[in-house]
A and B are shown apart, each in its own frame.
Chain A
């Protein structure tokens, strides 16, 4: 047996593993996480109804010499969310990323009350946010961002890897930050290289849009994220993802301010053009 054991061990020594095996494993893990993030990114946006109001702050900044707003949606009401009112968001996504369609409506009030109607096609995989009516302070808020600094310089130091991807990720993974923090997050994003503003564009539903475009490496490929904003109200209307590797995904956003949870917006309550035109 000793002789056989020696033969086997000698044979196993005839090949050597790659010297960069660990580095390759790290790269493999990063690719895996990027793929996971592509799906979770969408879910995070779906969950992140509240963060969308902060986008106004970003576009206000970008307006300072970096872009001009065109003639966009002219809502019948102000963008201010008054006490007792609810921010309404309808989110629909395609099936490109994971084969499942998301269709979620949320009504959120600053007091933390609201309602969620989640009709995503695969509830076992995307049960969040759970459908239901939420009392004050009970609206699902999965992220505790209370310890994040609001100073952009301090914040940027804490951003993972200091990359654009990290900043964007945090931006969408921390949807329930207060306005000051969201402003800081957007400022960090806007400071980073690679952010491009495209004017006079159209979102995937054909609505007029300003586009904030970012690109990043995805292994050997390049991934591009675009967030579309209504030129008039600076509310986000869509988000798309594409990669030179192939594959793409889109999300449509329709926002409004309504008087009560569960109420569908009337024509004068929309903050962006509704997709179906009603």
Chain B
């Protein structure tokens, strides 16, 4: 009923309608600023374009539904990443098939298969445990500090550092790059 009250109030009150328009504009700017980075990071995590888009869309949708509260919060971006990570992990838990797909070094056979096949780091990333993968993507692709990444993953900063270090070591060994 609260939702209906709000919708009626929006219809009735020009000020409320203006606020909603501003909120949409505000959210769209937020979306356009962060969507691409989030999508790319999710793609590294899930290894599937469609799933990355689905998780991204669902995360943004949830943020949009709570935009008034989220935008007034201390760190909307961290909230977005945390929502995305939670959605991704929920999918992992829910679907064994999805989990096998994500955890397996075998890559998907979508239009990106050729690209992926040429990309050693992507293949190596797919072999990492999900928590390590999340940690390294948050820290090294999305540039979060270990403290912010810890909030996103709901773990301690030291754990993030450990997970990221293990992931780095594995990846460096797999693809033969410098992990200094």
- Tell whether, in the assembled complex, residue B35 and residue A12 are in contact, meaning their CB atoms are under 8 Å apart: no
Can you list 17 A-B pairs, Cβ within 8 angstroms, ordered by A?
A2-B178, A3-B177, A3-B178, A4-B168, A4-B171, A8-B140, A9-B140, A10-B121, A15-B49, A21-B31, A22-B28, A43-B1, A44-B4, A142-B5, A144-B12, A145-B12, A170-B8
Q: Closest chain B residue to A24 by CB distance?
A: B57
Q: Which residues does chain B contribute within 8 Å of A40, judged by CB atoms?
A: 1, 3-4
B75 at the interface (CB under 8 A from A): no
A17 at the interface (CB under 8 A from B): yes
Q: Closest chain A residue to B44 by CB distance?
A: A12
Task: Kindly specify which of A25-33, A75-83, A212-220 makes contact with the partner chain.
Answer: A25-33
Chain A interface secondary structure, helix, strand, loop or mixed? helix
A22 CA / B36 CA spacing, docked (Å): 11
Partner of A8, one of B12, B44, B52, B112: B44
Q: Which residues does chain B contribute within 8 Å of A28, judged by CB atoms?
A: 57, 61
Question: How many residues of chain B are within 8 Å of chain A by beta carbon?
Answer: 49
Partner of A36, one of B3, B8, B44: B3
Q: Which residues does chain B contribute within 8 Å of A143, judged by CB atoms?
A: 4-5, 8
Q: Which residues does chain B contribute within 8 Å of A145, judged by CB atoms?
A: 8, 12
Q: Which residues does chain A contribute within 8 Å of B85, judged by CB atoms?
A: none
A144 CA / B137 CA spacing, docked (Å): 49
A122 at the interface (CB under 8 A from B): no
Which residues, 1 to 46 on B, are CB-close (under 8 Å) to A?
1, 3-5, 7-13, 28, 31-32, 35-36, 39-41, 43-44
Q: How far is the CB of B36 from chain A (nearest CB, A)?
A: 5
Give the size category of A's interface with B.
35 or more
- Tell whether, in the assembled complex, residue A12 and residue B41 are in contact, meaning their CB atoms are under 8 Å apart: yes
- Tell whether, in the assembled complex, residue B61 and residue A8 are in contact, meaning their CB atoms are under 8 Å apart: no
Chain B interface secondary structure, helix, strand, loop or mixed? helix
A9 CA / B180 CA spacing, docked (Å): 17
- Tell whether, in the assembled complex, residue B12 and residue A21 are in contact, meaning their CB atoms are under 8 Å apart: no
A46 CA / B136 CA spacing, docked (Å): 52
A170 CA / B172 CA spacing, docked (Å): 60
A143 CA / B1 CA spacing, docked (Å): 10
A13 at the interface (CB under 8 A from B): yes
A28 CA / B31 CA spacing, docked (Å): 14
Q: How far is the CB of B55 from chain A (nearest CB, A)?
A: 12
A34 at the interface (CB under 8 A from B): no
Q: Which residues does chain A contribute within 8 Å of B137, judged by CB atoms?
A: 8
Of B1, B43, B112, B125, chain A has the most CB atoms within 10 Å of the CB of: B1
With contact pairs A4-B140, A40-B3, A173-B7 given, residues A25 and B168 touching in the complex (Cβ less than 8 Å): no
Q: Which residues does chain B contribute within 8 Å of A1, judged by CB atoms?
A: 140, 168, 178-180
Q: Closest chain B residue to A14 by CB distance?
A: B115
B97 at the interface (CB under 8 A from A): no
- Tell whether, in the assembled complex, residue B177 and residue A142 are in contact, meaning their CB atoms are under 8 Å apart: no
A185 CA / B60 CA spacing, docked (Å): 35
- Tell whether, in the assembled complex, residue A25 and residue B61 are in contact, meaning their CB atoms are under 8 Å apart: yes
A200 CA / B60 CA spacing, docked (Å): 48
